[in-house]
Amino acid sequence: MGINLNPFTWWNGATIGTWFGLRGMSRIGEDGLGNVYYQGGKDGAGNPRRWVIYNGSNDASRVPPEWFSWLHHHVDAAPAEVLPPPRPWQKPAKPNMTGTAEAYRPSGSLDRGGQRQAATGDYEAWSPDA
């Protein structure tokens, strides 16, 4: 397709209505995946409204844990200001890989040939008559 459908389709990113709605809102920060976070206005309970504009597909698993806590009002300020720096042993957040080539496929799965290792003999099948 030669037409840019991004302004009209929510699954390709923010629609034109979302961009108009973000006018006057404060840009709080950006995560390592390129998602941008905004805050402004109040919800019905008086809490500040918060948004994420995804860089790429709209998939909630693409929000890192520290920004998830900010979006859900577990922390008040941007994660870089209130959370401790990541420890050296911590891995970066990774989106859900289900349905992609990087999805987890155990050794007995059909995608890896469907051949399971033989049982070791310590397994006894359940039967209703036993």
pLDDT digits (tens, 9 = 90+) for 58-70: 888 889 889 999 9
19: enclosing H helix or E strand: helix 16-21
Residue 1 has pLDDT above 50, yes or no: no
Residue 37 has pLDDT above 90, yes or no: yes
**Mean pLDDT value of segment 27-34:** 89
pLDDT digit string, tens, across residues 73-130:
999 889 989 888 889 998 888 888 888 888 888 888 887 777 777 777 777 788 898 6
Please give the residue that has the higher pLDDT: either 110 or 4. Answer: 110
At 130 the pLDDT is: 66
- DSSP-derived letter for residue 20 is H
Q: For the chain, give every domain's residue range.
A: 10-86
Quick one: which of 37, 25, 91, 101 has its CA closest to 67?
37
Decide: residue 20, CB within 10 A, 0-12 exposed, 13-18 middle, 19+ buried. Answer: exposed
63 by Cβ neighbours in 10 Å (0-12 / 13-18 / 19+) ranks as buried
Sorted by sequence, the CB contacts under 8 Å of residue 22 that are 6+ apart come out as 14, 38, 40, 51, 53
The predicted model scores a pTM of 0.67
